[in-house]
Amino acid sequence: MLYCVNDGAVMKAWSADQGANGTLIHFYGDPTGTFTKACGMIMDHPGPIGKGLIGRCKRFALYIEDGVVKYSVIAEDVDFDPAGDDFPEKVLPEQIIAKIKEIQGAS
C-alpha cells in the first residue's frame, strides 16, 4: 500500500504512471490528512512550512503485520533536512526489504 496526502484522482494517475494498476501495490489518497495526523506523521517543521509545504506528511515507511506496526522509519533530519528530500535512503526499497527480511527471520 502506498498513500499520500493527495486526492484520489492524483493517486489514480500516479498509479497508472508507475505501472502499478493491476498489481499488489495500491495507491490511496489522504487529502484531508486524517491518516497522516492519526499516525503522527504531519510535517510541521517550520522549514518546509516556510516553503509552502502545508498539510504534507513526512517521508516515512511502516511495515505492518496483522495490524501491528513491526517497523517504522522516517527519512528526516530535523536540523538539516526535515522533509527527508536530501537523504531518503532510510525509506528506499532496499533498506525496507532488508529490514522486513530481518524481522521475518527473527519470527
Contacts by 86-89, CB closer than 8 A, 24 or more apart: 88/59
Q: pLDDT for 44-95, tens place per residue? A: 888 877 888 788 888 899 999 999 999 999 988 877 777 777 878 888 889 9
pLDDT surpasses 90 at 18? yes
Q: Is this prediction's pTM over 0.85?
A: no
Confidence of residue 107 (pLDDT cuts 50, 70, 90): low
Q: pLDDT for 29-52, tens place per residue? A: 999 999 999 999 988 888 877 888
pLDDT given for residue 53 in this prediction:
77
Structural domain for 45, as ranges: 32-106
Q: Is 18 contained in some domain?
A: no
Rounded distance between C-alpha atoms, residue 74 and residue 43, angstroms: 11
Confidence of residue 24 (pLDDT cuts 50, 70, 90): very high
Q: Is 78 contained in some domain?
A: yes
Q: Is 8 contained in some domain?
A: no
Confidence of residue 21 (pLDDT cuts 50, 70, 90): very high
Vertex 91, ends 36 and 40: CA angle to 5°?
20
Q: Is 47 contained in some domain?
A: yes
Vertex 34, ends 53 and 21: CA angle to 5°?
85
How many separate domains does the chain show?
A: 1
**Whose CA is closest to 30, among 17, 39, 22?**
39
**Whose CA is closest to 107, among 75, 82, 70, 78?**
70
Q: Is 87 contained in some domain?
A: yes
Q: Is 27 contained in some domain?
A: no
Q: Is 43 contained in some domain?
A: yes
Q: Is 46 contained in some domain?
A: yes
